[in-house]
Amino acid sequence: MLFHQSALCFNHVANGPKGNTRIPPPSTKVIPPRMHAAIELLLNRHSTPAKYLGVPAPEGEHLDLILRAAMSAPDHGALRPWRFLLVEGEARAKLGALLAESFSRQNPDAPPALIERQREKPLRSPLLILLIAHLQHHAKVPEWEQLMAVGAAAEHMQLMAQALGYGSVWLSGNICGDDWLRDRLGLLPNERLVGYLALGTPTCAPSKRARPDPWAFTQEWTG
């Protein structure tokens, strides 16, 4: 099976700038059948809103696989510039109290309803994985590259979660840059909160989403 044929077999829509789809010429290399599921997973990766994530959450072997997937993320220098905090059960309410306080400090004129919305966010899904960038001084690996590695690790976890039948969404916001919140979470001076993954079992089917044509964002450089 050739690549352009297999891609058309998957639940994948590529729309060009004018709604057209570019079909690439056949490849001379055949895709092994064992890779079809991996291709489908990558082409159909999606986020699930936190309010549609129910129990059960990943645990045991499944949670271990999700965390192990992060370890295979591209990581220049093998710095492992990440750290993860698991939040579940009653700890979600404690995190919600911190988020509400942080939001209130940053927005002293915010109406109570918005503050309560921050308090409720961690309760929408059964498991949260806080994403922490553990930045290190390195002559060849600048901070921006380490942050990209953390982002890749987060997506690896999302892909593994989806492969195992779970849903997830990566959430962030201005509170990630709040030093007060960082201190309450126990982050080190060289660490930065870059958001959190909300995980659980989807309670609804994923919505169909058209993907853009990659060639609309790709050019050939000839020097």
Whether 10 has a pLDDT exceeding 60, the answer reads no
Whether 84 is in a domain gets the answer yes
- Confidence band for 21, pLDDT divided at 50, 70 and 90: low
127 in any annotated domain:
yes
**Where is pLDDT greater, at 5 or 92?**
92
Closest CA to 156 of 68, 80, 83: 68
> Is residue 210 included in any domain, yes or no?
no
C-alpha torsion 87→58→169→93, nearest 10: -30
The pLDDT of residue 60: 98
Q: Is the domain of 25 the same as that of 68?
A: no
Q: How confident is the model at residue 16 (pLDDT cuts 50, 70, 90)?
A: very low
**Angle CA 63–68–74, to nearest 5:** 140
pLDDT of 26 reads 84
* Biggest distance spanned by C-alpha atoms of the chain: 62
Same structural domain, 84 and 167: yes
Assess whether 17 and 52 both reside in one domain. Answer: no
Checking if the pLDDT of 28 tops 70, the result is yes
- Please tell me whether residues 66 and 157 are part of one structural domain: yes
**Residue 195 sits in the same domain as residue 151:** yes
Is residue 214 one of the residues assigned to a domain? no
pLDDT of residue 23: 75
Give the model confidence (pLDDT) of 121-166 as tens digits.
999 999 999 999 999 999 999 999 999 999 999 999 999 999 999 9
CA-based end-to-end distance of the chain: 34
55 and 92 in a single domain? The answer is yes
Band (pLDDT 50/70/90 cuts) for residue 203 is very high
80 and 16 co-located in one domain: no
Residues 40 and 51 placed together within one structural domain of the fold: no
* 69 vs 164: CA distance, rounded Å: 12
Q: What is the pLDDT of residues 157-177, one digit of tens each?
A: 999 999 999 999 999 999 999
Residue 15 included in any domain = yes
CATH of the domain at 121: 3.40.109.10
Query: With 50 as the cut, is the pLDDT of residue 8 above it?
Result: no
CB burial of residue 181 (10 Å; 0-12, 13-18, 19+) = buried
Give the domain range for residue 51: 47-205
Query: Does 115 share its domain with 30?
Result: no
Could you tell me if 36 and 61 lie in one domain? no
Residues 178 and 199 in one domain: yes
pLDDT at 207: 87
For residue 5, the model assigns a pLDDT of 39
pTM listed for this prediction: 0.88
- Domain edge (last residue) among 11, 26, 44: 44
In the predicted model, is pLDDT for residue 40 greater than 90? yes
pLDDT for 162: 98
Whether residue 189 lies inside any domain: the answer is: yes
Taking residues 90-94, report their average pLDDT: 98
Number of structural domains in the chain: 2
Q: Is 213 within the bounds of a domain?
A: no
CA distance 150 to 82: 6
Residue 222 lies in a domain: no
Same domain as 117, residue 103? yes
